[in-house]
């Protein structure tokens, strides 16, 4: 290689390094910008919720940049919403509704998926097809009919009214079916030879071996129901005492219109548990549907 | 075990799932369709009167109602969020599909809006969009906006629906990013490396390699996104309830307010719901056709 | 045979008596009163339950969706039993045939002994009284102001005697301090507030045949004046979305509003939210419009037709709104009692000598019950007509229609529908 060629090559390499470094920096700049975009509403609300509103006269959430970085911190807003707004009641409603929904979904899905995965019986494919078809059914009018049905069943305005219509889902059954299909057939055969009943096979083999999928399904269901606004607001239209936080937080906004600090505190009480669940179980979410299927 | 016994056990296990789906998923679709052609109001319901078949009367009512036309138009307007949301999500997926330090952290943080309830989003964004809110303050600080010409974005008939669409975008891009990430696993890394060696720029790689190869995922995501857009309701209720001056009043908002607003006319509401369902069906078909055809050109 | 029949009849009768003894629960709705006044409301409920051990009362507070929720629960067969409405919602619900006249439970003569006749008149629809009067309010009861902001703007409050002077003062406040002056209600939900502005300025709502007539050039000029004020941000655009009362509380507590005109009940919220501003607040007589009239209104307790326990509901409504409990309420928050005798009740101590702004304001309005007068009656088909009216007002504020056009359209719709 001639010296000038060598120099040229070195120069090119150097340029490539510079370009790569610049590229990486640029990538991180973009990553950071999107990060700020994604989480700043959350952080701002957090900042408002811990602002000590009693310090300065005429403190406002709109006095920037002070409201983004509060100087005097307090937890008294949280105490106040719990005391005056009975936030504990709504928190309990959320827990009860979420608990019933998760348990119900797991139970119904784990039961229904077993025959679809492991038993042969007439009309099996038709039934599985019908279950999957619910994913594409036009449901624009369903909420109307469901409210009328709930009233006829006398469970409108109860926890059950919220929960019962939403626990049997194609998604849940599909996830559990995939989990059962992944379990070796020899295990089942051995159990059958030992005289185990189908119910025993389900409870002693299939379910314990599908725990990762059950967990994933449980977490997805939990996050979904905790955050849902529309359906609970409708199913509890006649009994707002049972509103979960997702609905009550807007009532809170109506009642504390003049006090955004309390509203922010209420919002955080609703947000933090779900954020914690998310941080602990990230991997399920980051893999999408696959996360639920593979656990 | 006999076949009959197996069948018995199988149906026993399926029973809870099937009965619930039957009552709360299939029955509403069929009965809702029937209601669309019937006269049925709260008064009938209270008096235990059965729905009375009236043929197309509800549809005449719906189409003659300017509010429904406004609603349908706004729902169609809402579709504008779909291409932006899909392209940005795909681009972000490509961006975070690299092996870099802290990339998992960024990925996870982009998902936080997805796990934020729409009612919380309404609380937070209401403050951001306010006249003295964060956006206007930033614009004023950058001298892009005079304080005197500032307005609240949810209070202006020209901006309210776009402001809500922007929240849909904010809440949605992390979700589609994850779906696209799964799709990107299927693209061999060598393809991109080879293109980089040939001197292709990032945007060239994105448009010429990634997008065509991701067509099936894009089709699926656009479909989900399109149907969600045409059925938009929750966002509207929590942000503006259809105002100001019905500028955010959508098709499903019409269904909802006919049924549970002040009318309680389940028949007319169901008819409007059926129209929206039909529009959704046509759009799905168009979406499918469009994505296939543009694919034909690219290949 | 006869014996048997007698036995059955007796059994049926005793069962019926038993059924009457059976404890019942009634659902009681308040409007924007929680959580602030829960201690008071729950206290009255406790007293009531002690007096009538067979009735329990479930308290629910509603906000801007009260009318929607009311109809929804009736439609779905779970009607509340006692509902806190105000004149316009009472009117709308009575016209829709959803309410029982209260004379079904309490004779007119007794009602007239208990409540001010002018207030009973507010709740009279087609000759029937549909609500037990509860607490009243006056739109121009007093004016409360932030002394610091007013001093900064260099204003002399004693010179503000009319509403148009107050609006001019608001311009100055905005210019000199950046804060708002006064927030008039222009489009509150559940009503038609701008009609009140017309009335205060002496502009008629109806002509002598009872037809809507608020589209003269003078009306349009008044609306235009407000539109211009909003454009110049002298009054905030948020008034189109939030109740003026709510927004005023919110902003006054942040030092962003200089004047509150109305009942002194706002001060309680200010006191809670910001003691510092509360201590800078002074109270004077409220400015009046060109018509020199005071307007006001009242909230009431109505019994839906669909109530399962109407007689128990009526008992409770009477109890809640009796003169002692209204006096107690006025002691908690400066409402205007509508029951005759509350204003001289010993519970409501004379507070004229106190220097506390709330006490001063309370003593100024406590006796105003006999003067409450909304000025005009809502039209028939209230709900639809008011919605159209508000849409038109909003269109004018948003610049989608000229003031004249908006009022013309509203009048046309009004006269076509309010038959």
| pLDDT classification of C273: cutoffs 50, 70, 90 | confident
Nearest-by-Cβ selection for B13 from A60, A111, A267: A111
pLDDT at residue number A58 = 54
Cβ separation B238–A229 shorter than 8 A = yes
- Put residue C19 in one of left, alpha, beta given phi > 0 → left and psi -120 to 50 → alpha: alpha
pLDDT at residue number C88 = 85
Quick one: CA dihedral B22, B27, B29, B30, positive or negative?
Answer: positive
Looking from the CA of B133 toward its CB, the CA atoms found within 13 Å total: 20
Cβ separation C240–B155 shorter than 8 A = yes
Tokens of A156: 């409108």
Write down the mean pLDDT value for chain C: 86
For residue C116, which of C300, C303, C331, C364 has the smallest C-alpha distance? C300
d(CA C6, CA C21): 22
- Closest-CA distance of chain B to residue A126, Å: 12
Mutation pick from A51, A54, A57 vs chain C, by most beta carbons of C within 10 Å, is A57
d(CA B229, CA A26): 33
Q: Classify C142-295+375-417 by CATH class.
A: alpha beta
Nearest-by-Cβ selection for B182 from A31, A144, A288: A288
| pLDDT classification of C272: cutoffs 50, 70, 90 | confident
Assess A88–C contact: CB distance below 8 Å, yes or no: no
Mean pLDDT of C227-231: 93
Tokens of A64: 């920037």
Cβ separation B260–C74 shorter than 8 A = no
Assess C218–B contact: CB distance below 8 Å, yes or no: no
Nearest-Cα residue of chain B relative to residue C174: B148
Helix A3-49 and helix B103-110: axis angle, to 10°?
A: 40
Cβ separation B152–C238 shorter than 8 A = yes
- Closest-CA distance of chain B to residue A261, Å: 11
Do the Cβ atoms of A135 and A126 come closer than 8 Å? no
- Closest-CA distance of chain A to residue C273, Å: 7
pLDDT at residue number A72 = 83
Helix (H), strand (E) counts: chain B: 17, 2
What residues of chain A score a pLDDT lower than 70? 1-3, 56-59, 255-258, 288-295
Helix (H, G, I), strand (E, B) or coil at C332: helix
Residues of chain C with Cβ-Cβ distance to B244 below 8 Å are: 240-241, 394, 398
Cβ separation A258–C73 shorter than 8 A = no
Q: Where are the domains of chain C?
A: 2-138+297-362, 142-295+375-417
Cβ separation C69–A255 shorter than 8 A = no
Q: Where are the alpha helices (DSSP H) in B101-199?
A: 103-110, 118-129, 134-141, 160-184, 189-197
Which residue do the tokens 């809170």 mark?
A252
Nearest-Cα residue of chain C relative to residue A85: C35
> How confident is the model over C386-410, as pLDDT tens digits?
888 999 999 999 888 999 999 999 9
Mean pLDDT of C254-263: 87
Cβ separation A57–C61 shorter than 8 A = no
Assess B25–C contact: CB distance below 8 Å, yes or no: no
Q: Same topology for domains C2-138+297-362 and C142-295+375-417, yes or no?
A: yes
Assess B46–C contact: CB distance below 8 Å, yes or no: yes
Do the Cβ atoms of A274 and A223 come closer than 8 Å? yes
d(CA B278, CA A83): 49
Nearest-by-Cβ selection for A85 from C35, C58, C273: C35
Do the Cβ atoms of C290 and C202 come closer than 8 Å? yes
d(CA A114, CA A124): 12
- Closest-CA distance of chain B to residue C148, Å: 22
> How confident is the model over C135-167, as pLDDT tens digits?
988 777 788 999 999 999 999 988 898 999 999
Do the Cβ atoms of B113 and B121 come closer than 8 Å? yes
Cβ separation B120–A271 shorter than 8 A = yes
Helix (H), strand (E) counts: chain C: 18, 12
Cβ separation A145–B20 shorter than 8 A = no
Assess C71–B contact: CB distance below 8 Å, yes or no: yes
Nearest-Cα residue of chain B relative to residue C389: B245
Nearest-by-Cβ selection for C60 from A85, A241, A257: A241
Task: Give the A window 248-287 contacts with C, CB below 8 Å.
Answer: 251, 254-255, 257-259
Assess B241–C contact: CB distance below 8 Å, yes or no: no
Cβ separation C242–A239 shorter than 8 A = no
pLDDT at residue number C5 = 60
d(CA B175, CA A35): 15
Name A2's Cβ contacts closer than 8 Å, sequence gap at least 6.
Answer: none
For A229-232, the CB contacts below 8 A with 24+ separation are A229/B117, A229/B118, A229/B119, A229/B234, A229/B237, A229/B238, A230/A143, A230/B233, A230/B234, A230/B237, A231/A143, A231/A162, A231/A165, A231/A166, A232/A97, A232/A162
Q: Could you tell me the maximum CA-CA distance found in chain A, to the nearest angstrom? A: 92
Q: Does domain C2-138+297-362 have CATH number 3.40.50.1980?
A: no
Tokens of B139: 């614009």
Using CB atoms, which chains have 3+ pairs under 8 A with C?
A, B
Assess B157–C contact: CB distance below 8 Å, yes or no: yes
**Upstream peptide bond of A65 is cis (omega within 30 degrees of 0):** yes
Q: Which H or E run includes A65?
A: none
Cβ separation B178–A285 shorter than 8 A = yes
pLDDT at residue number A295 = 41
For residue A230, which of A217, A242, A244 has the smallest C-alpha distance? A244
pLDDT at residue number A253 = 79
Name A154's Cβ contacts closer than 8 Å, sequence gap at least 6.
Answer: none
Using CB atoms, which chains have 3+ pairs under 8 A with B?
A, C
Gyration radius of chain A over CA positions? 27
Inter-chain CB pairs, A–B, below 8 Å: 257
Beta-carbon neighbour count of residue B279 at 10 Å? 17
Tokens of A34: 């999107």
Distances (CA, A) of C253 to A56, A155, C82, C259: 12, 43, 33, 11
For residue B87, which of B239, B240, B211 has the smallest C-alpha distance? B211
d(CA A223, CA A101): 11
For residue A156, which of C131, C370, C362, B45 has the smallest C-alpha distance? B45
Residues of chain C with Cβ-Cβ distance to A151 below 8 Å are: 76-77
- Closest-CA distance of chain C to residue B23, Å: 19
Task: Give the B window 121-140 contacts with C, CB below 8 Å.
Answer: 130-131
pLDDT at residue number C56 = 94
Beta-carbon neighbour count of residue C311 at 10 Å? 14
Residue A37's φ and ψ, nearest 5 degrees, are: -60, -40
For residue A292, which of A201, A186, A169 has the smallest C-alpha distance? A169
Residues of chain C with Cβ-Cβ distance to B148 below 8 Å are: 233
d(CA C366, CA C343): 6
- pLDDT: which is higher, C342 or C229: C229
Nearest-Cα residue of chain C relative to residue A260: C250
End-to-end CA distance of chain A: 56
Mutation pick from C243, C252, C273 vs chain A, by most beta carbons of A within 10 Å, is C273
Nearest-Cα residue of chain A relative to residue C58: A241
pLDDT tens, position by position, for chain B (299 residues)? 688 889 999 999 999 999 999 999 999 999 999 999 999 988 788 778 889 999 999 999 999 999 999 999 999 999 999 999 999 999 999 999 988 899 999 999 999 999 999 999 999 999 999 888 899 999 998 988 887 778 889 988 899 999 999 999 999 999 999 999 988 888 887 887 888 888 888 888 888 888 888 888 898 899 999 999 999 999 999 999 888 889 999 999 999 989 988 778 999 999 999 999 999 999 988 888 876 665 443 33
Residues of chain B with Cβ-Cβ distance to A264 below 8 Å are: 123
Percent residues over pLDDT 90 in chain C:
40
Nearest-by-Cβ selection for B270 from A144, A202, A289: A144
Q: Where are the alpha helices (DSSP H) in C162-243?
A: 163-177, 193-200, 217-231
Helix (H, G, I), strand (E, B) or coil at C297: strand
pLDDT at residue number A258 = 65
Q: Is B248 exposed, middle or buried (0-12, 13-18, 19+ CB in 10 A)?
A: buried
- pLDDT: which is higher, C314 or B263: C314
Percent residues over pLDDT 70 in chain C:
92
d(CA B41, CA B199): 67
Cβ separation A58–C73 shorter than 8 A = no
Assess C240–B contact: CB distance below 8 Å, yes or no: yes
pLDDT at residue number C1 = 54
Cβ separation B260–A41 shorter than 8 A = no
Cβ separation A254–C255 shorter than 8 A = no
Helix B66-78 and helix B160-184: axis angle, to 10°?
A: 40
Residues of chain B with Cβ-Cβ distance to C67 below 8 Å are: 262
Mean pLDDT of C39-53: 94
Nearest-Cα residue of chain C relative to residue B261: C68
For residue A163, which of A110, A113, A247, A231 has the smallest C-alpha distance? A231
> Which homologous superfamily is B35-298 in?
MetI-like (1.10.3720.10)
Q: For chain B, what percentages of helix, strand and coil (3-state, to nearest 5) are there? A: 75, 0, 25
pLDDT at C352 over 60: no
């Amino acid at each position: 290689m001639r010296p000038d060629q060598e120099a040229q090559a070195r120069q090119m390499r150097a340029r490539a390094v510079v370009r790569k470094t610049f590229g990486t920096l640029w990538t991180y700049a973009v990553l950071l910008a999107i990060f700020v975009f994604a989480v700043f509403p959350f952080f701002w609300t957090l900042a408002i919720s811990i602002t000590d509103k009693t310090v300065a006269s005429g403190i406002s959430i709109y006095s920037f940049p002070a409201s983004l970085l509060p100087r005097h911190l307090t937890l008294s807003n949280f105490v106040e919403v719990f005391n005056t707004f009975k936030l504990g009641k709504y928190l309990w409603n959320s827990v009860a509704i979420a608990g019933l929904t998760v348990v119900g979904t797991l139970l119904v899905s784990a039961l229904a998926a077993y025959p679809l995965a492991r038993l042969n019986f007439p009309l099996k494919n038709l039934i599985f097809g019908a279950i999957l078809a619910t994913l594409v059914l036009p449901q624009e009018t369903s909420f109307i009919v469901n409210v009328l049905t709930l009233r006829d069943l006398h469970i409108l305005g109860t926890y059950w009214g919220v929960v019962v219509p939403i626990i049997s889902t194609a998604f849940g059954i599909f996830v559990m079916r995939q989990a059962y299909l992944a379990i070796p057939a020899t295990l089942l055969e051995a159990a059958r030879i030992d005289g185990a009943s189908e119910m025993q096979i389900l409870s002693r083999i299939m379910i314990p071996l599908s725990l990762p999928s059950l967990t994933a399904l449980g977490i997805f269901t939990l996050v979904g129901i905790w955050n849902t606004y529309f359906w609970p607001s409708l199913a509890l239209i006649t009994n707002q005492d049972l509103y979960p936080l997702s609905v009550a937080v807007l009532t809170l906004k109506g009642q504390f219109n003049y006090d955004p600090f309390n509203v922010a505190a209420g919002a955080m009480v609703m947000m933090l548990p779900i954020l914690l669940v998310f941080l602990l179980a990230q991997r399920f979410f980051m893999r999408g549907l696959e996360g639920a299927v593979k656990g | 075990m006999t076949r009959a016994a197996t069948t018995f056990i199988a149906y026993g296990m399926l029973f809870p799932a099937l009965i619930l789906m039957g009552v709360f998923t299939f029955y509403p679709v069929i009965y809702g369709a029937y209601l669309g052609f019937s006269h049925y109001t709260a008064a009938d319901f209270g008096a235990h009167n059965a729905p009375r078949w009236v043929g197309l009367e509800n549809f005449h009512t719906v189409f003659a109602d300017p509010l429904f036309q406004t609603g349908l138009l706004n729902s169609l307007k809402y579709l504008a969020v779909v291409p932006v949301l899909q392209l940005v999500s795909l681009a972000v997926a490509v961006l975070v599909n690299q092996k870099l330090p802290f990339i998992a952290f960024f990925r996870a943080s982009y998902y936080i809006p997805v796990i934020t309830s729409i009612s919380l989003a309404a609380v937070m964004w209401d403050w951001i969009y306010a006249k003295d809110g964060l956006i206007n303050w930033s614009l004023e600080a950058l001298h892009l906006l005079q304080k005197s010409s500032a307005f609240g974005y949810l209070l202006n008939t020209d901006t309210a629906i776009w402001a809500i669409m922007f929240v849909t975008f904010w809440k949605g891009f992390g979700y589609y990013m994850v779906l696209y990430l799964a799709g990107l696993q299927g693209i061999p890394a060598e393809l991109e490396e080879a293109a980089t060696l040939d001197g292709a720029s990032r945007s060239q790689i994105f448009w010429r390699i990634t997008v065509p190869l991701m067509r099936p995922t894009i089709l699926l995501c656009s479909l989900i996104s399109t149907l969600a857009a045409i059925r938009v309701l929750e966002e509207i209720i929590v942000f503006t309830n259809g105002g100001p001056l019905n500028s955010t009043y959508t098709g499903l908002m019409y269904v909802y307010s006919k049924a549970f607003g002040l009318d309680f006319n389940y028949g007319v509401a169901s008819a409007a719901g059926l129209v929206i369902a039909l529009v959704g069906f046509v759009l799905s078909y168009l979406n499918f056709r469009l994505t296939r055809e543009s694919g034909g050109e690219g290949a | 045979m006869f014996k048997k029949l007698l036995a059955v009849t007796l059994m049926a009768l005793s069962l019926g008596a038993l059924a009457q003894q059976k404890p019942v629960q009634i659902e009681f709705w308040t409007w924007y009163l929680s959580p602030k006044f829960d201690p008071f409301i729950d206290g009255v409920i406790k007293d009531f339950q002690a007096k009538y051990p067979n009735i329990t009362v479930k308290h629910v507070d509603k906000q801007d969706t009260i009318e929607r929720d009311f109809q929804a629960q009736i439609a779905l067969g779970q009607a509340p039993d006692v509902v806190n409405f105000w004149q316009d919602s009472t009117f709308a619900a009575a016209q829709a045939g959803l309410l029982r006249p209260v004379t079904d439970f309490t004779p007119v003569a007794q009602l007239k002994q208990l409540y001010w006749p002018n207030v009973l008149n507010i709740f009279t629809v087609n000759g029937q009284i549909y609500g037990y009067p509860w607490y009243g309010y006056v739109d121009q009861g007093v004016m409360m102001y932030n002394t610091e902001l007013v001093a900064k703007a260099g204003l002399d409050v004693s010179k503000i005697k009319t509403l148009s002077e107050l609006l001019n003062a608001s311009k100055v406040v905005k210019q000199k301090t950046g804060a708002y002056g006064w927030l008039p209600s222009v489009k509150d939900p559940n009503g038609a507030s701008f009609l009140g502005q017309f009335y205060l300025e002496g502009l008629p709502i109806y002509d002598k045949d009872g037809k809507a007539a608020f589209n003269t050039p003078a009306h349009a000029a008044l609306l235009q004046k407000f539109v211009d004020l909003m454009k110049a941000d002298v009054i905030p655009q948020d008034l189109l979305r939030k109740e003026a009362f709510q927004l005023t509380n919110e902003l006054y507590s942040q030092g962003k509003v200089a004047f509150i005109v109305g009942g002194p009940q706002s001060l309680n919220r200010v006191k809670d939210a910001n003691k510092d501003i509360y201590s800078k607040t002074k109270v004077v007589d409220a400015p009046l419009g060109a018509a020199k009239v005071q307007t006001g209104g009242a909230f009431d307790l109505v019994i839906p037709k669909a109530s399962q326990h109407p007689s128990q509901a009526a008992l409770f409504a009477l109890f809640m709104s009796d003169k002692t409990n209204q006096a107690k309420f006025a002691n908690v928050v400066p409402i205007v009692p509508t029951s005759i005798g509350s204003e001289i009740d010993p519970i409501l101590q004379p507070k004229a000598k106190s220097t506390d702004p709330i006490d001063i304001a309370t003593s100024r309005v406590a006796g105003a019950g006999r003067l409450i007068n909304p000025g005009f009656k809502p039209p028939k088909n209230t709900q639809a007509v008011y919605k159209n009216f508000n849409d038109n007002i909003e269109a004018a504020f948003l610049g989608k229609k000229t003031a004249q056009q908006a009022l013309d359209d509203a009048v046309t719709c009004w006269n076509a529908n309010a038959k």
